[in-house]
Amino acid sequence: MPGRVDFQWLAGTDLTVECVYQGGKRGNAADDPLAALLPVGNQGGFRYFGSPTKGTVKLVVLYTSGQNVDWPDELDPATGTFTDYGDNRTPGRELHDTQRRGNLIFA
Q: How many CA atoms lie within 13 A of 87 on its CB side?
A: 20
Domain ranges of the chain: 1-37, 40-107
Do 103 and 88 touch, CB atoms closer than 8 A?
yes
**25-82 pLDDT per residue, tens:** 999 989 999 989 999 988 888 889 998 889 899 999 988 888 888 888 888 989 989 8
Q: Is the pLDDT of residue 1 over 60?
A: no
What pLDDT does residue 86 have? Answer: 67
* Interatomic CA distance for residues 79 and 73, integer angstroms: 15
Do 36 and 13 touch, CB atoms closer than 8 A?
no
What pLDDT does residue 87 have? Answer: 65
Do 38 and 50 touch, CB atoms closer than 8 A?
no
The amino acid that residue 84 corresponds to is: D
pTM for the predicted model, two decimal places: 0.72
What pLDDT does residue 6 have? Answer: 95
Number of Cβ atoms within 10 Å of the Cβ of 71: 13
What average pLDDT does the segment 87-96 reach? 74
What pLDDT does residue 79 have? Answer: 93
